[in-house]
């Protein structure tokens, strides 16, 4: 009985750690580079989208050297 309780606590602990890690790491693709100034070397693309969470409109910029994308908030203009 004691082994089962320990095993359950261990499983729940691991799941809790995974939940916390996923909360801090999950889908930060365009939030990590969300500034007002477009970085040097980035080119505007035709891609524009509206974020379903906050309703803001973003234009996508692309750096052909690195392949990185930058998401510029069009509402800030």
Separation of alpha carbons 7 and 20, rounded Å: 20
Distance of CA 25 to the CA centre of its chain: 7
Instruction: Kindly tell me if the per-residue pLDDT of 62 is higher than 80.
Output: yes
Measured at the alpha carbon of residue 61, what is the angle toward residues 60 and 63, in degrees to the nearest 5? 145
Q: pTM for the complete prediction?
A: 0.55
Which pLDDT tens digit goes with each residue over 20-58?
887 777 656 555 555 678 889 999 999 999 988 888 899
Predicted pLDDT of residue 22: 78
The pLDDT, as a whole number, for residue 34 is 59
- Please give the pLDDT value at position 59: 92
Structure tokens at 62: 């692309």
């Amino acid at each position: 009985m004691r082994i089962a309780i320990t095993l359950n606590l261990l499983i729940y602990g691991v799941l809790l750690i995974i939940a916390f890690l996923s909360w801090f790491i999950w889908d930060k693709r365009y939030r990590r580079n969300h500034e007002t100034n477009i970085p040097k070397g980035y080119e505007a693309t035709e891609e524009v989208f509206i974020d379903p969470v906050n309703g803001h409109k973003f234009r996508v910029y692309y750096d052909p050297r690195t392949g990185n994308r930058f998401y510029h908030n069009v509402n800030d203009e």
